[in-house]
Amino acid sequence: MTKQVSRPRAGLSREKVLDAAAAFVDEHGLPALSMRKLGTALGVEAMTLYYYVPSKAALFDGLVERTVEAALDGLVDRPSADWRETAISFAHGYRARLLRHPGVLPLIATRPVNSPRGFDTAERALAAFEAAGLPAGRAMDLFNALGTFAIGHTLAEIGRPTGHEETAEPPAEIDAGTHPRLAALVASGEGLDFDARFTAVVGFIVEGFAPEV
């Protein structure tokens, strides 16, 4: 009498695997993600995932592509008549959506944008900027400047990503004697408003390009 195993199918798909990976990474942090744990989270053995994804590296690639596309998608769909507004809302939208997936951000930050939908967004942004009179090269610079600033700023904003807390030293032992200005700022909270700073700097960048239109 052999044991009769009931093994109904899990009904997975590449999309579901990537969804679960994104959720897992946002909750537990990148380093905690293993194929076995992701499998468990999906009610499946690790090797099953390889039916949907050729390797862990490819899973990461898919994760990045998905998240970046979701972050960029629709951002410049209806460009404003004012190119500045287009640029500013692009930057703010991009940052806001990146913040939704803090676990994936470190992955995004280390790979160039290389996906069709990313290209679409860039193309539309370039079209809007060029239509307003910005030379093509300047339009590209503006787009890239906003993108890279958004990434750098957002990385700082999320701080040490989930999953690194164990290693973290106490956040700061700033000596008011040797670092009076730093200590005062931390105490008062001044200069630590990420929203305000991002808004201001994006504005500065956009204004910097303005004389060229």
Asked if 14 and 54 touch (Cβ cutoff 8 Å), the reply is no
Closest C-alpha to 102, from 198, 22, 192, 197? 22
CA distance 91 to 181: 30
Residues 180-199 within binding reach of a second copy (CB under 8 A): 180-182, 184-185, 190-192, 196-197
Q: Smallest gap, in angstroms, from Cβ of residue 59 to a second copy?
A: 11
Per the CB < 8 A criterion, the answer to whether 19 and 41 are in contact is no
Pick one of DNA, a second copy, none as the site partner of residue 182 (Cβ within 5 to 8 A by kind).
Answer: a second copy
Q: Which does 46 bind (CB under 5 to 8 A by kind): DNA, a second copy, none?
A: DNA
Q: How far apart (Å, rounded) are the C-alpha atoms in residues 126 and 111?
A: 21
- The nearest distance, CB 36 to a second copy, in angstroms, is 19
Query: By C-beta, is 47 or 187 nearer to DNA?
Result: 47
| Among the listed residues 13, 40, 85, 200, the single contact to a second copy using CB under 8 A | 200
Closest CA to 113 of 69, 157, 60: 69
**Residue 93 interaction partner, one of a second copy, DNA, none, beta carbon < 5-8 Å per kind:** none
Nearer to a second copy, 61 or 73 (CB): 61
Instruction: Give the 3-state secondary structure percentages of the chain, helix then strand then coil, rounded to 5.
Output: 65, 0, 35
Residues 6+ apart with CB under 8 A from 87: 125, 129, 142, 146, 202, 206, 209
| Count of residues engaged in binding a second copy, rule: CB under 8 A | 64
Among 16, 37, 100, 160, binds a second copy (CB under 8 A): 160
Residues 6+ apart with CB under 8 A from 184: 176, 190
| The two structure tokens encoding residue 27 | 């909750």
Q: Does 69 bind a second copy (CB under 8 A)?
A: no
Residues that bind a second copy (CB under 8 A): 57-58, 60-61, 106, 109-112, 114, 119-120, 122-123, 126-127, 130, 136-141, 144-145, 147-153, 155-156, 159-161, 164, 166-167, 169, 171-172, 174, 178-182, 184-185, 190-192, 196-197, 200-201, 203-205, 207-209
